[in-house]
């Protein structure tokens, strides 16, 4: 059992409703994403999954307390995610849990709540070729990856992407139609690390793509901070009684 | 009448309840803040005020539609600010309205909602000397200001201040007790500009301080973007029907 | 005569050697660039030009002392630019002069010296369509510009572009071949502002393009800081004799 | 023997000339710095030292080729450091070698060359108490460190510190005299990582301080990227012959 505890969250609704999605992901997208992480992190990681329809969406206090990194793929049920669970995730991220937000997760409550902006973008679903360019060589999320890789068919996501300027811009994509997108964006919030990665439309087999799997596994590894202690002012204004501090 | 439309929002509750605050600010802190802006921007600005106890806190759709920059001072009534008004402000900021958040406004709903973090800090109210150091010479917010200025008595605000890394760090303060604080922080969110400035505790005459007034007026000037058109994807995912764009 | 003093520097060698360049720019690229700035800034700007073959490359102490913003286009004579002049420009930028670096200027001594990195990239000259996407709506450099504009024929510049992460990323371009490029990058260094803008290959009429002209004029306006006083520690470690400062 | 190869560079001149420095560092400051790194990284690191008076300052091509992280302490001999060696270090950093610049190293050729700015500051040597505040909890460089620590006696370094805005601001210090300083600054340049850490004046036993040693060891660990391959455009504009790339 690994020391890096990962929870892969999948909405798991498209998979039940659309034949094409089921064809690509017979056990659900979350299962494939989890598999890709295990493929790369092996014994170092302990990966489990959780889905929308489970009680508390599978994300109880207990589960989150045992999670170093949470990955998030959602789409049609964004509005249905319980606000209590969203706030619980947010608090955990600010205390140091990693969060990897995938593709249509840009519109999720948790991502919007952490970013503060609309996180909206332009899109077109026409099976276009996406080229993913590494603009941060040397960043741990790019380890073992080529300077560019192609995803044969993808939904186009294009600028303007309404996010705060990323702390580190890792990937920029172009599409057949000429659009560009900041497709890999790293943020630090509180003590936590967040990575948004846009490839991954449900009607294409994107999470079987070797480079995509590598990116997600690298991101999980980068975002994990097991054993981090919370800072003293978390969630409150801390009154300091003395001159400065008692050493 | 000026072309730069400013709304100074003041909670205006301490002023009614505490003699010391009333002594410093007989017409309310918002009146003094407004006065300081007018002092520097003169005919260029049209400044009005709004307070917590007014209907819709004085921030109706109409008022915000006619506001280029909103300044915000609040404290004890943070929780009582109407969520509809908060969301209305947030939308306007993302579309380009400037927002200047002052002192205890770090704990306001609107600042927290735009930042995504807890925005908490350590504090001590002991009338300490605050030194405000300019760490961004050449930034418009520092125009006409010395490399450092002293506020004789202030509440201490200290790190860790739980905010996203500012897009531009403008001021760092130290206090008698040895604490430090990122006291002037500029952020871009959506099309809007946000400036947080920490000096300004209600029990000291901080908004009468010439350098503090200059900073706030400079910030208003910097944050104003009259006439800005909204981007097409605002608040929604925009479906692009054609190859890339119709020129 | 304008209050904003602009010096447009052009290498002016391709124009003398290649018929195609002469055809696009009969009076030199610098003349066309200067014209585009005047077109937009009008009476507000006083624009002059300087070229490589002039004594001191036309950039004497006197000229720079009277320059609020310098624009730089160079290519084949990068290595021949006098180090004394480069150092003179660098000092002026750090004290607050704006610098707009165009296209092949990425390889110039002055840009490399200010960035610290190699500033290299991948390229291909095949007359490709460049799409320039605005990723910073609300930034002054994007005023009056559409969300995207096309340059029909351009040299491709592609990532990885070895620059420090820009303080503000303004434009990202894509090319017919699928490459992407951070084509508009804003930096603050010392008290000065620097903008790199990649469109502008000499064998295409790029500086006649209305959107390109608008970007450059906006950038000049943004980078200008007339009347800025230098900070006290410029170019030296300043010994502070007293406790903190003498008010 | 460790897999993380560290070279600690020390100017080693103050140690030979001043009794007080010799008293604190009988084997040279570099020996104490090296010892602090070994103390924390143990078997994981292989640490060696190099000094100014050695041939090529002890930094031959061979030594640098076998170095994952270089630490740099220099002061009175800045101007005497060979430009060839400086350029050699710079190239290695851009290709991925970590660089930790300490205290007066702010004025070194290598730091100035990588930053592009003057890197100057204000200072006062009066044995003041320095408080070092962690403003990036969760950053690897802060692991195992308290929210603030005190150095009883230090030279004051104060703002304005003329550096590019750090990619990550890690520590801010205050001094008895009230000055503030961005004392821990992380930068990414090319594929390399750079950390500047200001504590460390030669006339005080700062490198014996447990928290200072921990910071430096953490920084070495963070900056190390053994086995990183160079990107294809390094140091040159790379002509791309085909449409976009040959997979």
pLDDT 10s per residue in chain C (247 long)? 458 999 999 999 999 999 999 999 999 999 999 999 999 999 999 999 999 999 999 999 999 999 999 999 999 999 999 999 999 999 999 999 999 999 999 999 999 999 999 999 999 999 999 999 999 999 999 999 999 999 999 999 999 999 999 999 999 999 999 999 999 999 999 999 999 999 999 999 999 999 999 999 999 999 999 989 888 878 777 776 555 443 3
The 8-class DSSP code of residue C205 comes to T
User: Is-contact C8 C45, C-beta < 8 A?
Assistant: no
Is B231 at the interface with chain C, CB within 8 A? Answer: yes
Nearest to A188 by CA among C8, C158, B164, B3: B164
Q: Mutating which of D83, D86, D117 best tests the C interface, going by the most C Cβ atoms within 10 A?
A: D117
Q: What is the pLDDT of residue D247?
A: 34
Chain A residues within an 8 Å CB radius of B162: 94, 190, 231, 233-234
Q: Mutating which of C95, C96, C132, C138 best tests the B interface, going by the most B Cβ atoms within 10 A?
A: C138
Question: Beta partners for B47?
Answer: B6
What is B4-116+182-223's CATH number, 3.40.50.880, 3.30.390.10, 3.40.50.620, 3.40.50.300?
3.40.50.880
Is A160 at the interface with chain D, CB within 8 A? Answer: no
Residue boundaries of the structural domains of chain A: 4-223
Q: What is the pLDDT of residue C173?
A: 98
Q: What is the pLDDT of residue A210?
A: 98
Contact B180 D179 (CB under 8 A): no
Q: What is the pLDDT of residue A234?
A: 83
Q: Mutating which of C180, C182, C184, C188 best tests the A interface, going by the most A Cβ atoms within 10 A?
A: C180
A residues 208-227 lying closer than 8 A (beta carbon) to D: 225
Q: What is the pLDDT of residue C241?
A: 59
Q: What is the pLDDT of residue B245?
A: 45
Chain A residues within an 8 Å CB radius of D138: 96, 188, 190-193, 225, 228
Is B137 at the interface with chain C, CB within 8 A? Answer: yes
**Strand segments (E) across chain B:** 4-10, 45-51, 69-73, 98-102, 122-134, 148-158, 168-175, 180-189, 192-197, 238-239
Strands C168-175 and C180-189: antiparallel
Chain D residues within an 8 Å CB radius of A94: none
High-pLDDT (> 70) share of chain C, %: 96
B residues 91-130 lying closer than 8 A (beta carbon) to A: 94, 107, 113-118, 120-124
> What confidence category does residue B139 fall into, taking pLDDT thresholds of 50, 70 and 90?
very high
Q: What is the pLDDT of residue B233?
A: 79
Q: What is the pLDDT of residue A233?
A: 79
Q: What is the pLDDT of residue C201?
A: 94
pLDDT digits 0-9 by tens, C171-195: 999 999 999 999 999 999 999 999 9
pLDDT digits 0-9 by tens, C145-160: 999 999 999 999 999 9
Mean pLDDT of B105-115: 98
Rg over CA atoms, chain B: 18
> What confidence category does residue B241 fall into, taking pLDDT thresholds of 50, 70 and 90?
low
CATH code at A4-223: 3.40.50.880
Q: How far is C134 from chain A (nearest CA, A)?
A: 7
Give burial (CB, 10 Å; 0-12/13-18/19+) of C127.
middle
Q: How far is B231 from chain C (nearest CA, A)?
A: 7
| CA closest to C178 among chain A residues | A174
Q: What is the pLDDT of residue D238?
A: 75
Of B160, B169, B180, the CB nearest to D174: B180
| CA closest to A159 among chain C residues | C135
Is C177 at the interface with chain D, CB within 8 A? Answer: yes
Contact B117 A190 (CB under 8 A): yes
Specify the pTM.
0.97
If you average pLDDT over every residue of chain B, what do you get?
Answer: 94
Is D177 at the interface with chain B, CB within 8 A? Answer: no
Q: What is the pLDDT of residue A231?
A: 86
| CA closest to D131 among chain B residues | B178
Q: What is the pLDDT of residue D242?
A: 54
Res. B247: pLDDT tops 50:
no
Of B118, B189, B237, the CB nearest to A116: B189
**Strand segments (E) across chain A:** 4-10, 45-51, 69-73, 98-102, 122-134, 148-158, 168-175, 180-189, 192-197, 238-239
Q: How far is B154 from chain A (nearest CA, A)?
A: 14
Chain A residues within an 8 Å CB radius of C178: 129, 131, 174
Chain D residues within an 8 Å CB radius of A190: 137-138
pLDDT digits 0-9 by tens, A207-230: 999 999 999 999 999 999 998 988
User: Is-contact B166 B152, C-beta < 8 A?
Assistant: no
Of A96, A147, A188, the CB nearest to D231: A147
SS (H, E, C) chain D: CCCEEEEEEECCCHHHHCHHHHHHCCCCHHHHHHHHHHHHHHHHEEEEEEECCCHHHHCCHHHHHCCCEEEEECCCCHHHCCHHHHHHHHHHHHCCCEEEEEHHHHHCHHHHHHHCCCCCCEEEEEEEEEEEEECCCCCHHHCCCCCEEEEEEEEEEECCCCCCCCCEEEEEEEECCCCEEEEEEEEEECCEEEEEECCCCCCCCHHHCHHHHHHHHHHHHHHCCCCCCCCCCCCCCEECCCCCCCC
Residue whose structure tokens are 């300081």: B36
> What is the helix (H) or strand (E) element at residue A143, kind and residue range?
none
Q: How many CB pairs under 8 A join B and D?
A: 58
| CA closest to D136 among chain A residues | A191
The ipTM estimated for the assembled molecules is 0.95
Chain D residues within an 8 Å CB radius of C114: 116-117
Contact C138 B188 (CB under 8 A): yes
Is B167 at the interface with chain C, CB within 8 A? Answer: yes
Q: Mutating which of C122, C179, C241 best tests the D interface, going by the most D Cβ atoms within 10 A?
A: C122
Chain D residues within an 8 Å CB radius of C93: none
Contact C134 A172 (CB under 8 A): no
CATH code at C4-115+183-223: 3.40.50.880
Of B137, B168, B172, the CB nearest to D180: B172
Q: What is the pLDDT of residue B243?
A: 52
Is B44 at the interface with chain D, CB within 8 A? Answer: no
Q: How far apart are CA A242 and CA B114, in angstroms?
A: 32
Q: How far apart are CA C12 and CA C235, in angstroms?
A: 33
Contact A240 B124 (CB under 8 A): yes
Q: What is the pLDDT of residue B246?
A: 38
Q: Mutating which of C131, C138, C159 best tests the A interface, going by the most A Cβ atoms within 10 A?
A: C159
Stated length of chain C: 247
Q: What is the pLDDT of residue A237?
A: 75
Contact C237 D122 (CB under 8 A): yes
Chain B residues within an 8 Å CB radius of A235: 118, 120
DSSP labels for C117-147?
S----EEEEEEEEEEEEES-TT-GGGTT--S
Q: Which pair of structure tokens corresponds to residue A132?
A: 């993913």
High-pLDDT (> 70) share of chain A, %: 96
pLDDT 10s per residue in chain D (247 long)? 458 999 999 999 999 999 999 999 999 999 999 999 999 999 999 999 999 999 999 999 999 999 999 999 999 999 999 999 999 999 999 999 999 999 999 999 999 999 999 999 999 998 999 999 999 999 999 999 999 999 999 999 999 999 999 999 999 999 999 999 999 999 999 999 999 999 999 999 999 999 999 999 999 999 999 989 888 878 777 777 555 443 3
Chain B residues within an 8 Å CB radius of A179: 240, 244
Give the distance, in angstroms, between the CA of residue D63 and the centroid of all CA atoms in the same chain: 17
Contact C138 B244 (CB under 8 A): no
Is C135 at the interface with chain A, CB within 8 A? Answer: yes
Chain A residues within an 8 Å CB radius of B121: 233, 237-238
Give burial (CB, 10 Å; 0-12/13-18/19+) of D134.
buried
Q: How far apart are CA B214 and CA D112, in angstroms?
A: 34
> What confidence category does residue A74 fall into, taking pLDDT thresholds of 50, 70 and 90?
very high
Q: Which pair of structure tokens corresponds to residue B237?
A: 């995912």
Q: How many CB pairs under 8 A join C and D?
A: 123
pLDDT digits 0-9 by tens, B215-238: 999 999 999 999 898 888 787 777
Which chains have 3+ CB pairs within 8 A of B? A, C, D
pLDDT digits 0-9 by tens, B1-30: 458 999 999 999 999 999 999 999 999 999
Is A175 at the interface with chain D, CB within 8 A? Answer: no
Contact B172 D159 (CB under 8 A): yes
Stated length of chain D: 247
Contact C133 A165 (CB under 8 A): no
Nearest to D220 by CA among D38, D29, D85: D38
Res. A58: pLDDT tops 60:
yes
């Amino acid at each position: 059992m690994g020391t890096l505890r990962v929870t892969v969250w999948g909405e798991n609704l498209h998979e039940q409703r659309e034949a094409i999605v089921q064809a690509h992901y017979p056990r659900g997208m979350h299962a494939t994403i989890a598999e890709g992480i295990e493929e790369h992190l092996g014994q170092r990681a302990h990966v489990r999954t959780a889905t929308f329809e489970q009680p508390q969406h599978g994300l109880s206090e207990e589960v989150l307390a045992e999670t170093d990194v949470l990955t998030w793929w959602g789409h049609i049920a964004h509005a249905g995610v319980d606000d209590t669970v969203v706030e619980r995730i947010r608090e955990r991220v600010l205390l140091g849990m990693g969060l990897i937000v995938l593709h249509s997760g840009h519109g999720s409550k948790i991502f919007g709540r952490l970013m503060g902006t609309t996180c909206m973008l332009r899109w077109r679903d026409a099976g276009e070729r996406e080229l993913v360019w590494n603009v941060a060589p040397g960043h741990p999320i790019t380890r073992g990856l080529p300077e560019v890789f192609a995803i044969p068919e993808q939904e186009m996501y294009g600028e303007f992407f309404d996010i705060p300027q990323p702390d580190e811009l890792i990937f920029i994509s172009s599409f057949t139609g000429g659009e560009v997108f900041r497709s890999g964006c790293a943020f630090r919030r509180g003590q936590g690390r967040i990575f948004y990665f846009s490839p991954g439309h449900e009607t294409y087999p994107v999470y079987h793509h070797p480079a995509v799997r590598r990116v997600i596994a690298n991101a999980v590894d980068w975002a994990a901070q097991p054993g981090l202690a919370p800072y003293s002012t978390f969630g409150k204004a801390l009154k300091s009684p003395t001159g400065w501090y008692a050493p």
